[in-house]
Amino acid sequence: MDDLLHFRAAGTSLVLDLSGTGLPRLTHWGADLGQPAPDRLAELRAADVAQTVANALDEPVPLSVLPQQSAGWPGTPGLSGHRDSSAAAPAFTVRTRSVRAADRHLTVEAVDGDGGLALTLELGLTDAGLVRLRAAVTNTGDTPYHLTELTPALPVPAQATEILDLTGRHLRERAPQRHAFTLGTHLRESRRGRTGSDATLLQIVGAAGFGFRSGEVWGLHVAWSGNHRSLAERTPAGQAVLAGGELLLPGEIRLAPGDTYRCPWLYGSYGRHGLDELADRFHRHLRTRDGHPTSPRPVTLNTWEAVYFDQDPATLEGLARAAAEVGAERFVLDDGWFRGRRDDRAGLGDWYVDEEVWPDGLHPLIGTVRGLGLRFGLWVEPEMVNPDSDLARAHPDWILAASPARLPPASRHQQVLDLARPEAYGYVLGRLDALLREYRIDYLKWDHNRDLVDAAAHHQTAAVYRLMDELRARHPHLEIESCSSGGGRVDLGVLERTDRVWTSDCIDALERQRIQRWTGLLLPPELLGAHVGAPVAHTTGRRHTLDFRAGTALFCHFGIEWDLTAADAAERARLAEWVTLHRALRPLLHSGTVVRGDHPDPALWVHGVVAEDGGRAVFALVQMATSVQSPAGRVRLPGLDPDADYHLSPLAPGDRPEGPFTSALPWWEKGVTLPGRVLAEVGVQAPTLFPERLVLLEAVRR
């Protein structure tokens, strides 16, 4: 039937009701329905119509993907705004629809003639089974229209009774929180001008008790790097939605006649069997997008926690030689290389190599680095300015502020540069372009170390996107890391133009296990920067073994943030073993399916990566704390081909089960061969480990 649309991909079905002149309604988003005949889809639509009940509207409220108050929707409206003389809720009538069956994409054009608005809706299902949705509104009237909200929505079924979202702070990003999905609105907003350390990457709802490997789940992500909002909402009528969009501050979007505003893409992911399936859809989608890194992710040594601001050319050349010795492939010079930058109080904005520290520029250091076979990267923070800088003294009006008479509160002794101002944008673009032309720089660590306070963020975010896009167009070889006080700008908007994120400024391996676990709901391992730090973590004071630090970084985009010139020969040799292992496993780790076990002991975590063809897998057993029980008991290893036999054995150098043993495990020395179904459903006895230790296991199909 022409008024029913059924998209299918990767185990997901999306059924859209296009009947009448109203906006599209979502009849089903969830498990694949197969290929029902058109009349059966019509029956499904009929079966989805709710009763009318006492003291309700005479007709059931049609819940579209842009919910309308004018149609009787009592919850958060999909679009709201006003003209100076009217604040009437829009009522859209569909004029045209177009379907691209090949890529499962629907475009709808609608108008609100009385309100002077036109609407474009785009909705599709990717090859990975992700829903993509966005809307654009155009002012077709004769007077300005002040847009306050454009928030598309995806209905979810009654089975979704529990909410999981993430919160956090600097050095402790991605902390999960769970609670019942009750009546009302669970709203998450970020007004920080960036994604935010406390932002929820995903708003997830699901069946009570869902885990990584079980329970139906639905999740929504807002692909935007500025102010944004997402919500889970349930009405007393039993209707429930996930919705999201950009958070617009009052007066931020004023549409003159003919102007258009387009909201960010929303991504919806469904998992029939838990969070791993939901996450895998994002991973598969990202890996097939244009611009996803295809070359092996170079092992990176970053200089920050090795030298901080104490930049000395001879010291840094020695550090580069030590990096090459252990097998690093990229050397990144962090903060402190530019004029006046001896601490974090001065210099931001003056993007010229400091002649006092580097009398011959960066050429000698880059020559040494490249002579050792390493690529070269550079830290920048282009969106920021220190008041104590030549730039701020020359152009104080370039500082982003709501009023010229009032600067926002300082943070880390810095302010934000107004990149929506053409002169400021041109200056930053010119300086970065000049550096990239003069020096052989392959990589920019692009930092952003403060929130935007008392400032509109929409135009700033759009300008940052344009700046990154222009630099990539001029320098196609350039890779960019999204760093924002660590994990403060992690979203699919910035990842359209960057090659990895700095997952957190905290590289304490215990904290990183948690942070990487939950950031991985959205991003695959190759996009997560993870470094081996010093024996004592600079941010927490904890001491960890080298094997625990390196084993934690192993699965991600592996790097080093440690003064290797202070490490002894045994430590450097051991680190080199881990680097060698990572480089050998990189093709598997950065292309395979990420799996996480729902182990009953919260002190023992299980995670791993299974090759696409199921032929090989690597697992980590991580002892996060002391267990109540000892010995550890059996641990299940998920994701393997259930009908194939696998030889399971410890994987060096992660094969040292440091723990309170009374005897060795019988299977540990020679391994064990079992079917994938048995390893997933029964498991094997795990070693009892000391807290904050891990071991690696490799499963190879026989």
Query: What would the 3-class secondary structure string for 144-203 be?
Result: CEEEEEECCEEEECCCCCEEEEEECCCCCCCEEEEEECCCEEEEEEECCCCCCCCCCCCE
* CA dist 702 → 306, 581, 697 (Å): 44, 22, 16
Residue 101: which domain range? 4-61+82-288
Q: Which of 43-57, 185-199, 254-268 has the lowest mean pLDDT?
A: 43-57
pLDDT surpassing 90 at residue 661? no
Examine the residue annotation and report whether 613 is marked as an active-site residue of this protein.
no
What kind and span of H or E run contains 367? Answer: helix 363-371
Q: What is the pLDDT of residue 664?
A: 87
pLDDT surpassing 80 at residue 85? no
Residues composing the chain: 702
The answer to whether the Cα torsion of 411, 413, 417, 418 is positive or negative is positive
Q: Which residues contact 633 (CB under 8 A, 6 or more apart)?
A: 601, 685, 686
* 496 and 475 fall within a common domain: yes
Q: What is the pLDDT of residue 404?
A: 82
pLDDT surpassing 80 at residue 136? yes
* 449 and 534 fall within a common domain: yes
Q: Which residues contact 324 (CB under 8 A, 6 or more apart)?
A: 372, 373, 374
Give the C-alpha separation, 453 to 401, whole Å.
8
Beta partners for 13? 8, 30
Residue written as token pair 């002649």: 355
User: Is 546 inside a domain boundary?
Assistant: yes
* 120 and 197 fall within a common domain: yes
- In the set 17, 276, 280, 447, the catalytic residue is 447
pLDDT grade, residue 454 (50/70/90)?
confident
pLDDT surpassing 70 at residue 1? no
Please write the tens of the pLDDT for every residue from 360-409. 999 999 999 999 999 999 999 999 999 999 999 999 999 999 888 889 99
User: Is 424 inside a domain boundary?
Assistant: yes
Tell me the pLDDT of the chain averaged across its residues.
Answer: 97
User: Is 473 inside a domain boundary?
Assistant: yes
Q: What is the pLDDT of residue 681?
A: 98
Which runs of consecutive H residues, i.e. helices, occur in 220-312? 275-288, 304-307
Give the C-alpha separation, 502 to 381, whole Å.
14
Please write the tens of the pLDDT for every residue from 319-346. 999 999 999 999 999 999 999 999 999 9
User: Is 356 inside a domain boundary?
Assistant: yes
* 256 and 343 fall within a common domain: no
* Rg over CA atoms, the chain: 27
* 521 and 625 fall within a common domain: no
* 135 and 250 fall within a common domain: yes
pLDDT grade, residue 61 (50/70/90)?
confident
Asked if 182 and 205 touch (Cβ cutoff 8 Å), the reply is: no
Please write the tens of the pLDDT for every residue from 574-607. 999 999 999 999 999 999 999 999 999 999 999 9
CATH number at residue 127: 2.70.98.60
Residue written as token pair 């399936």: 277
Give the C-alpha separation, 607 to 639, whole Å.
10
User: Is 75 inside a domain boundary?
Assistant: no
User: Is 118 inside a domain boundary?
Assistant: yes
Asked if 118 and 140 touch (Cβ cutoff 8 Å), the reply is: yes
The answer to whether the Cα torsion of 631, 637, 643, 649 is positive or negative is negative
* 418 and 434 fall within a common domain: yes
Examine the residue annotation and report whether 598 is marked as an active-site residue of this protein.
no
Listed residues 288, 310, 344: the one ending a domain: 288
CB atoms near residue 76 (< 10 Å): 18
* 341 and 476 fall within a common domain: yes
Which runs of consecutive H residues, i.e. helices, occur in 452-599? 458-474, 509-519, 546-553, 569-589
* 224 and 371 fall within a common domain: no
User: Is 70 inside a domain boundary?
Assistant: no
Listed residues 518, 553, 588: the one ending a domain: 588
Q: What is the pLDDT of residue 87?
A: 79
Q: What is the pLDDT of residue 427?
A: 98
Asked if 52 and 26 touch (Cβ cutoff 8 Å), the reply is: no
Q: How many domains does the chain have?
A: 3
Give the C-alpha separation, 85 to 45, whole Å.
40
Of 266, 444, 247, 427, nearest in space to 351 by CA:
427
* 649 and 673 fall within a common domain: yes
CATH number at residue 642: 2.60.40.1180
pLDDT grade, residue 60 (50/70/90)?
confident
User: Is 74 inside a domain boundary?
Assistant: no
Q: What is the pLDDT of residue 88?
A: 86
Of 481, 482, 480, 542, nearest in space to 506 by CA:
542
Asked if 261 and 248 touch (Cβ cutoff 8 Å), the reply is: no
Please write the tens of the pLDDT for every residue from 516-554. 999 999 999 999 999 999 999 999 999 999 999 999 999
pLDDT grade, residue 275 (50/70/90)?
very high
Q: What is the DSSP letter of 410?
A: P
Listed residues 555, 588, 621: the one ending a domain: 588
Q: What is the pLDDT of residue 356?
A: 96
Of 263, 256, 262, 264, nearest in space to 139 by CA:
256
- In the set 505, 508, 547, 641, the catalytic residue is 505
* 169 and 310 fall within a common domain: no
Please write the tens of the pLDDT for every residue from 151-201. 999 999 999 999 999 999 999 999 999 999 999 999 999 999 999 999 999
Helices (H) and strands (E) in the chain, counts: 12, 38
Q: What is the DSSP letter of 101?
A: G
* 584 and 607 fall within a common domain: no
Give the C-alpha separation, 178 to 533, whole Å.
31
CATH number at residue 557: 3.20.20.70
Please write the tens of the pLDDT for every residue from 302-320. 999 999 999 999 999 999 9
Residue 630 CA from chain centroid, whole number: 37
User: Which amino acid is present at 116?
Assistant: G
